[in-house]
């Protein structure tokens, strides 16, 4: 009997090591892949089909970790100004990257104001409520689809409850603020919330598939007359700098940062890396390739063939294929995905790294807004 090792559902073999090595040769920068010690074991290929083993470590690249811009700083200053008059904050994160789309800068601007965390784009993610329960034992979160009226009703219900807790009832109503990283679905949610009480309502907040559609904190938007509930839209605010390279790549994949920050080839490879980790059967891209692969070049070539973009001599536009592949997931046409490692340990580790990162970022909002026009809500 030839020796064979099983890790979970995956059988490890020499063939898998070969595929892993092959994938390394396609990277543009010298990769630092650590071959797991198990792969070094004395194992032979299975007699039938070569089993597949997904990569466990992504190569290192020289990527700029900063995407913080002037309008992000202005947005934070505005939030700091209106903060005292806001009754409840809804912080939107992307359920496909629930850790990477956290942003500690909101606490800088809004202090410890009561907040509910909305994990949006639930329809595109594999994130499970069970893990959120362990991250937020106090229960201040909801997993939502920003376009869903049912989810918008739940959110409005929380706002109504908040109004009901105030005694005497605030004569001018209550104010909600929606915050979050770029492109997580803030404006889409506001439009859905507004349509609940006014089916004819026009889209009040501009939305779009790329980062930076909303550029400034909005005027007050009325969500409901009885009781009076208002909301402010805000621009997506990027972190001062991401905690590591992979976080920046994830944010590029979900469109929280413009594509020119991270080479689409690297984004495509990271997406493949995550899909294989999520499900090593390759089901998520079986319509492109019949077998799972760690080799992004092979995948991109198969895509070029599928979309009929292969030129003479098997030449093809790698970046075009990469963009096609990323867009497919952005638009929810591929499998549901989870880019972050979602465990309790990962949550705690991320919190520590995020704090270290934030401590290095000096920003005194109090003195930055000194001398500026007061920002009144009423
Ligand atoms: N599938 C899916 N798509 C969504 C959801 N929410 C928003 N989108 C899409 O995501 C894209 C970004 O949505 P926006 O509402 O503009 O995001 P934003 O957070 O306001 O973006 P900025 O203003 O740029 O910070 C749009 O193409 C929306 O249609 C969701 O829950 N599910
Ligand atoms: Mg917006």
Within a domain: residue 336?
Answer: no
Confidence of residue 322 (pLDDT cuts 50, 70, 90): very high
Whether residue 205 sits in one domain with residue 145 = yes
How far apart, in whole angstroms, are the C-alpha atoms of residue 286 and residue 303?
11
As a dihedral over the C-alpha atoms of residue 240, residue 242, residue 245, residue 250, rounded to 10 degrees, the angle is: -120
pLDDT reported for residue 349: 96
Lowest mean pLDDT among 25-29, 232-236, 360-364: 25-29
Whether residue 83 sits in one domain with residue 41 = no
- Number of structural domains the chain divides into: 2
Is the minimum distance from the CB of 299 to ligand 1 under 6 angstroms?
A: no
Q: Is the pLDDT of residue 217 over 60?
A: yes
Is the minimum distance from the CB of 124 to ligand 1 under 6 angstroms?
A: yes
Whether residue 186 sits in one domain with residue 97 = yes
Is the minimum distance from the CB of 214 to ligand 1 under 6 angstroms?
A: yes
Whether residue 154 sits in one domain with residue 235 = yes
Tell me how far the alpha carbon of residue 312 lies from the centroid of ligand 1, in angstroms: 39
Helix, strand and coil content of the chain, in percent to the nearest 5, comes to: 40, 10, 50
- Beta-carbon neighbours within 5 Å of ion ligand 2: 186-187, 213-214
Q: Mapping DSSP to helix (H, G, I), strand (E, B) and coil, where does residue 230 land?
A: strand
pLDDT reported for residue 180: 98
Whether residue 146 sits in one domain with residue 38 = no
Is the minimum distance from the CB of 235 to ligand 1 under 6 angstroms?
A: yes
Write out the residue range of the structural domain in which residue 136 sits. 70-241+345-368
Please compute the mean of the pLDDT values over residues 88-109 and round it to a whole number: 97
Cα 209–Cα 214–Cα 216 angle in degrees, nearest 5: 165
Tell me how far the alpha carbon of residue 154 lies from the centroid of ligand 1, in angstroms: 19
Q: Mapping DSSP to helix (H, G, I), strand (E, B) and coil, where does residue 92 land?
A: strand
Strand-pairing partners, residue 141, are 117
Within a domain: residue 125?
Answer: yes
Within a domain: residue 373?
Answer: no
pLDDT reported for residue 374: 59
pLDDT reported for residue 326: 96
- CATH code for the domain of 120: 3.40.50.300
Indicate the top mutation candidate among 208, 211, 221, 329 to test ligand 1's pocket, ranked by most ligand atoms within 8 A of CB.
208
Whether residue 296 sits in one domain with residue 168 = no
Q: What percent of the chain has pLDDT over 90?
A: 70
pLDDT reported for residue 373: 60
Express each pLDDT in 136-176 by its tens digit. Answer: 999 999 999 999 999 999 999 999 999 999 999 999 999 99
Q: Is the pLDDT of residue 8 over 80?
A: no
Nearest CA to 357 out of 116, 185, 108 is that of 108
Indicate the top mutation candidate among 183, 187, 205 to test ligand 1's pocket, ranked by most ligand atoms within 8 A of CB.
183
The whole model's pTM is what?
0.86
pLDDT reported for residue 206: 84
Express each pLDDT in 27-70 by its tens digit. Answer: 343 333 334 443 443 444 445 677 899 999 999 999 999 989 99
Whether residue 212 sits in one domain with residue 76 = yes
Whether residue 27 sits in one domain with residue 176 = no
Is the minimum distance from the CB of 268 to ligand 1 under 6 angstroms?
A: no
Whether residue 85 sits in one domain with residue 216 = yes
Q: Is the pLDDT of residue 1 over 80?
A: no
Whether residue 322 sits in one domain with residue 350 = no
How far apart, in whole angstroms, are the C-alpha atoms of residue 325 and residue 146?
24
Within a domain: residue 115?
Answer: yes
Q: How far apart are the first and last CA of the chain?
A: 79
Q: Is the pLDDT of residue 248 over 90?
A: yes
Side-chain half-sphere of 25: how many Cα atoms within 13 Å?
6
Query: Which ligand is nearest the CA of 189, by number?
Result: 1
Please compute the mean of the pLDDT values over residues 183-192 and round it to a whole number: 96
Is the minimum distance from the CB of 120 to ligand 1 under 6 angstroms?
A: yes
Tell me how far the alpha carbon of residue 186 lies from the centroid of ligand 2, in angstroms: 5
Q: Closest ligand 1 atom to the C-alpha of 184?
A: 19
Confidence of residue 23 (pLDDT cuts 50, 70, 90): very low
pLDDT reported for residue 11: 39
Whether residue 98 sits in one domain with residue 234 = yes
Query: Which ligand is nearest the CA of 144, by number?
Result: 1
Within a domain: residue 194?
Answer: yes
CA nearest ligand 1 atom 8, residue = 185
Q: Is the pLDDT of residue 192 over 80?
A: yes
CA nearest ligand 1 atom 1, residue = 121
Tell me how far the alpha carbon of residue 182 lies from the centroid of ligand 2, in angstroms: 7
Confidence of residue 256 (pLDDT cuts 50, 70, 90): very high
Within a domain: residue 325?
Answer: yes
Please compute the mean of the pLDDT values over residues 320-345 and round it to a whole number: 93
Within a domain: residue 315?
Answer: yes
Confidence of residue 219 (pLDDT cuts 50, 70, 90): confident
Q: Is the pLDDT of residue 339 over 50?
A: yes
Structure tokens at 294: 């760690």
Q: Mapping DSSP to helix (H, G, I), strand (E, B) and coil, where does residue 54 land?
A: coil
Q: What is the mean pLDDT of the chain?
A: 86
Whether residue 131 sits in one domain with residue 14 = no
Within a domain: residue 376?
Answer: no
- CATH code for the domain of 51: 1.10.1580.10
pLDDT reported for residue 212: 77
């Amino acid at each position: 009997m030839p020796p064979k090792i099983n890790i979970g559902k995956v059988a490890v073999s020499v063939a898998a090591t070969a595929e892993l090595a092959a994938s390394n040769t396609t990277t543009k920068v010298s990769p630092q892949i650590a071959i797991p010690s198990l792969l070094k074991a004395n194992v032979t290929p299975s007699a039938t089909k070569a089993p597949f083993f997904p990569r466990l470590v992504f190569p290192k690249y020289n990527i700029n970790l900063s995407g913080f811009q002037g309008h992000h700083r202005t947005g934070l200053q505005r939030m700091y100004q209106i903060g005292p008059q806001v009754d409840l904050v809804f912080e939107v994160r992307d359920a496909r990257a629930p850790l990477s789309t956290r942003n500690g800068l909101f606490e800088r601007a809004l202090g410890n104001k009561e907040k509910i965390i909305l994990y949006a784009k639930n329809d595109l993610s594999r994130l499970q409520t069970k893990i959120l329960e362990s991250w937020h034992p106090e229960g201040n979160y909801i997993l939502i689809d920003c376009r869903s009226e049912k989810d918008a009703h739940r959110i409005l219900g929380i706002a109504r409850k908040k109004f009901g807790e105030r005694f005497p009832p605030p004569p001018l109503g209550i104010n909600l603020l929606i915050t979050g990283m770029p492109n997580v679905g803030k404006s889409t949610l506001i439009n859905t919330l507004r349509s609940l009480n006014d089916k004819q309502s026009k889209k009040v907040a501009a939305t779009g598939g790329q980062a930076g559609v909303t550029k400034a904190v909005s005027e007050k938007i009325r969500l409901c007359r009885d009781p009076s509930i208002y909301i402010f839209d805000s621009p997506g605010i990027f972190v001062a700098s991401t905690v590591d390279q992979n976080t920046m790549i994830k944010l590029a994949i979900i469109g929280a940062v413009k594509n020119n920050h991270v080479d689409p080839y690297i984004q495509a490879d990271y997406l493949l890396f995550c899909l294989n980790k999520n499900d090593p059967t390759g089901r998520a891209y079986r319509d492109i390739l019949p077998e799972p692969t760690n080799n992004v070049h092979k995948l991109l070539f198969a895509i070029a063939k599928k979309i009929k973009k292969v030129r003479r001599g098997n030449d093809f536009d790698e970046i075009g294929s990469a963009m096609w592949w990323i867009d497919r997931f952005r638009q929810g046409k591929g499998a549901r995905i989870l880019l972050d490692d979602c465990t309790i340990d990962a949550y705690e580790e991320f919190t520590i790294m995020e704090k270290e990162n934030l401590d290095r970022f000096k920003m005194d909002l109090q003195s930055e807004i000194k001398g500026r026009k007061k920002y009144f809500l009423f």
